[in-house]
Chains A and B, each alone.
Chain A
Amino acid sequence: MEILEFGFMQRALLASLMVGLVAPAVGVFLVQRRLSLLGDGLGHVALTGVAVGVLTATAPVGTALVAAVAGAVVIELVRARGRTSGDVALAVLFYGGIAGGVVLLSLAPRGRATNLEAYLFGAITTTSAGDVAVFAVITVVVLGVVWLLGQRLYAVSDDEEYARAVGLPVLALNVVLAALVAATVVLSMRVVGLLLISALMIVPSAVAQLLARSFRQTLHLACAIGLVVSVTGTTTSFYTGTPSGGTIVLLAIALFLVVTAAVAVRDATARRRHRRRAEVHAAHPHEHGAGCGHQPVPHGDHVDYDHDGHLHAPHRTGTGVHYDEHGAGRP
């Protein structure tokens, strides 16, 4: 493939692979915790870090990491102290972050890499070899922490009060999660962009939770979706010349819309079929019961009846007995 002949594309694809995998692995906890926009806020804060890096001629990835992690810790401490003032405190921190970034970048001497747009919305030409190395370390650390502490992060995200009551270290786990988000934000700053990373954390999870049955399945599926849209979007952006971050996010949102529509159609079809069968059996010659001739199959708290290759579960409604389909052969 010609696309791989370019060194910058190799690095961009590696970066997109890593961020595509990592962002949903962290994002799924944010969705569960109903704190979807934390990544967005930390992206704002990271911009000040980027600006400091540019001004002092140090690698902006490193300074952004420091700023974002520091911001994450501050946010969790503010949240832990009380929620009323927390909201305003977060706004101050987030907008202070982006305002500081813009102002500091404008002060940078000419000739320094001050392309604000690339930091905010992603660009495929900007990933350096050094960036790839830092990203690889971040990827390994974030995925390692999620593997090790995933069950506890789920516990705290799911029901913080319960977690506190049974003695889980709630504040520490919240700080860890916020730090993971901060690290992921930094991972995004080349191909996805600081203003768009939140979408890559949230949208793959939103797609996965439409399809999955368990949290674990959601996590794995979200990572797979993130990886595919990230690499596909980066590749597309090579051919179309569009910003990679925007392209990736539009792809993810398109997928979300398609899956949402497909699930809606599936559910509507299932409801229609259920109604049709209920109509057929409304004219049932008998109520199922002992000795009715149909094979009884115990199922939890009731009994299903094997009926022409599918299972019938009677339950009473206002208009008489109504039969649910409980699948064929599966008691």
Chain B
Amino acid sequence: MIPAIHLRDARIGYGDTAVVQGVDLTVRSGEAVAVLGSNGSGKTTLARGLLGLAAVLGGEVEVLGAPVGRLRERGRVGYVPQRHTVSGAVPATVREVVGVGRLARLGSFRRLRPADRAAVADAVAAVGLADRLCDPVASLSGGQQRRVLVARALAAEPELLVMDEPTAGVDAASQDALAAVLADVSATGTTLLVITHETGPLAGVLTRAVVVDHGRIGYDGPLAGAGAGAGGHHHPEDTGEPPRGGYRIDQPRVTTDGGR
């Protein structure tokens, strides 16, 4: 089976500067992976490399079986950016914002058809906002707007879903709602790659952790063992018993890290 993500000795960065280097990573189709690391560790750059938003400076970066620059149907990769709100200058409804996600599935000129509108409505229902479909997004709470961004990604029915800090700055109820949504998405076979500071809210969904440290992978293994991996190169199979409890970076939980 073709892996969802395959990196071999990958160097990813901006301009000529590599932020991530020497990364080997293979994510099988259907896996649910947390990408952990402190601010500036390179975890967001790693994800942006998979989305074509950061440059691949060396090595191999393959997404859904194709080198990332040559993946033709980019709509197969869903993306939930690190953003707190859906803020546009002009009002827009939930349906309109999520409709943008569906465009990724269409050709260059096709407009949304009834089947596409149904997919949009399904995606909005999947995040529990069916009754807000025609409301302006600005009237929703921060946590709900975050779910709108998830629905936007789901509307394209992606095979791989990349999310950047989906739980940061969201209240506990919304975090639980998001975890339930991701559990459903994962159950349909969609591969999840979630960049996060803290796995607590999503511990039931994510099974594997990849810790990025100074642009390299410091730990790759079961989520439960990630705590010990924060500091250095460490594999749980070496120690046998993984530490209990979720992983947490001992740093102030800042929710933006300069886009890196």
Contact = CB atoms under 8 A, between A and B. Distances in A.
B76 to A, nearest CB: 9
Contacts of A217: 91
Contacts of A168: 103-104
B108 A165 contact: no
Contacts of B90: 28, 31-32, 205, 209, 215, 218
Contact of A165 (B52, B89, B103, B134): B52
Given A148-B109, A148-B111, A158 B75 contact: no
Contact of B136 (A152, A162, A213): A213
B247 interface: no
Contact of B92 (A158, A164, A205): A158
A164 B103 contact: no
Interface string B21-51: 0000000000000000000000000000001
Contacts of B88: 32, 158, 215
Of A155, A161, A165, the most chain B CB neighbours within 10 A belong to: A165
A162 B79 contact: yes
B89 A32 contact: yes
Contacts of A158: 88, 92, 97, 100
Interface string A127-165: 000000000000000000000110110110011011111
Interface residues of B, number: 37
B103 A155 contact: yes
Nearest to B105: A166
Given A165-B51, A165-B74, A149 B109 contact: yes
A149 B106 CA distance: 12
A223 to B, nearest CB: 13
A166 B92 contact: no
A32 B87 CA distance: 10
A161 B54 CA distance: 11
Contact of A152 (B53, B77, B101, B103): B103
B31 to A, nearest CB: 21
Contacts of B74: 165-167
Contacts of B99: 151
B119 interface: no
Contacts of A34: 89
A285 interface: no
Contacts of A85: none
Interface string B196-239: 00000000000000000000000000000000000000000000
A215 B93 CA distance: 7
B91 to A, nearest CB: 6
Given A164-B52, A167-B52, 17 more contacts: A28-B90, A31-B90, A158-B92, A162-B81, A162-B100, A165-B52, A166-B74, A166-B78, A166-B103, A166-B156, A167-B74, A209-B91, A213-B136, A214-B134, A215-B88, A218-B90, A218-B91
14 contacts: A31-B90, A158-B100, A162-B81, A163-B100, A164-B53, A165-B52, A167-B73, A205-B90, A213-B91, A213-B93, A213-B135, A214-B92, A214-B95, A300-B132
